[in-house]
Amino acid sequence: MSRAKVAVLISGRGSNMEALVRAARDPACPFEVTLVLANKPDAGGLAIAAEAGIEALAVDQKPFGKDREAHERAIDAALRQRGIEVVALAGYMRILTPFLVEAWEGRMLNIHPSLLPAYPGLDTHGRALAAGEVEAGCTVHLVTAGVDEGPILGQARVPILPGDTEHRLAERVLEQEHRLYAATLAEFVRGL
């Protein structure tokens, strides 16, 4: 079986990336993570990836200044040089320009910590709690031009409990993110 080559794009601690790497250790998993790429050299997940024996690459956004497309062209070149087939955004905290979105259309997934279309953007748990929701969750979707708007590939629901804080809710949702992302990505690449 040839496994789909996946790059995971991160900006921070990379716990979702780690979950994908863990899932790919199973020989029956239809994808392998061959590159972890961050837009910041100090992203914690880079060291975790390197320790796991995966190429960990920082394409620092700083030297590109405000030219987000030039930064993305450098990212795209790195992905193509390595024969990447699918890109998984996992806590990649920079809004993409149409360049990268179009270059990877139908091949780029994102995980978002809400039940989209509810609560796109930042501070999802704080807003869900403030609105008195009884349920939160997470979504894996294809990336399109609108932020957090692409076709939904999978969701996991998490009840909001009495007395929940943002932190406690985020922890429980994160557990589900890890499970959902690996399962949804596997299903997605099987369908390619």
Q: Which residue, 37 or 90, is less far from ligand GRF as judged by CB?
A: 90
Enter the tokens of residue 182: 């690996």
Question: Can you tell me the distance from the alpha carbon of 1 to that of 55, in angstroms, rounded to the nearest whole number?
Answer: 22
**Considering the rule CB under 6 A, would residue 141 count as an interface residue with ligand GRF?**
no
Q: In this chain, which of 71, 107, 112, 141 binds ligand GRF, going by CB under 6 A?
A: 112
Q: Which residue, 30 or 91, is less far from ligand GRF as judged by CB?
A: 91
Size of the site for ligand GRF (CB under 6 A): 13
Mark whether 141 is an active-site residue.
no
Q: Output Rg (C-alpha) for the chain, integer angstroms.
A: 16
What x-and-dash track marks residues 68-97 binding ligand GRF by CB under 6 A?
----------------------xx------
CB 59 within 8 A of CB 74: yes
**Considering the rule CB under 6 A, would residue 14 count as an interface residue with ligand GRF?**
yes
Residue with tokens 């990212």: 75
CB 84 within 8 A of CB 5: yes
Q: How far is the CB of 113 from ligand GRF (least distance, A)?
A: 4
Query: DSSP code of 136?
Result: E
**Considering the rule CB under 6 A, would residue 25 count as an interface residue with ligand GRF?**
no
Dihedral sign for Cα 61, 45, 79, 109, please.
negative
The catalytic residues are 112
